[in-house]
Amino acid sequence: MAYKHSYEEYNGEKMARALGYALPVSRKQSIEICSSLRNKPLVRAKAILNDAISMRKAIPFRRFTSSISHKKGMGPGKYPINAATEILKLVENAEANAKFKGLNASNLIIKHMCAQHGGNVWKAGRFRRRKMKRTHIEIVVTEGKAKKESKKKEKKEVANK
């Protein structure tokens, strides 16, 4: 069955997307990562994922928090290394797709990012079957506006002159 994209306001000229189909990662961890990276600049999202992979900073868990300990500087959080690695590959893929379309890679913002339940696949060779984890992840990036300097800095520069 064909995958139906969940983001309906996709504009092919101003946006780029990447799709990970049936990735072998936890759906719950993917949902938490997606909710923490949504509407963030692409550079910052890559830094957050690299910090989670190297176990420097945890991903905050807001929805699936049962039996999760708190981490320093936040509430409940985890280091989802496998899911973060797969999502980092997708983020880099979306960045490459945006560069191919001619978008400015330094101003990219993650407009839409969602994780959905994948197909049911059973592990073989067991008397009692076990399900494999499968997740579909969709990322849509768009070119944001370049950040302007704050008004406070401009006032200080005017005052110093």
Helix, strand, or coil (residue 12): coil
- Mean pLDDT of all residues in 18-33: 96
**pLDDT score, position 77:** 95
| 68-87 tens-digit pLDDT | 988 888 899 999 999 999 99
pTM value is 0.85
Q: How far is CA 68 from CA 53, 60, 95, 99, in A?
A: 18, 10, 32, 39
Q: How many helices (H) and strands (E) does the chain have?
A: 4, 7
Residue 150 scores a pLDDT above 60? no
- Name the burial class of residue 53, with classes exposed (0-12), middle (13-18) and buried (19+) by CB atoms within 10 angstroms of its CB: middle
Q: How far is CA 6 from CA 11, 19, 63, 102, 139, in A?
A: 13, 11, 21, 24, 10
In this structure, what token pair is assigned to residue 83?
A: 């899911």
* Residue ranges of domains in the chain, CATH in brackets: 15-160 (3.90.470.10)
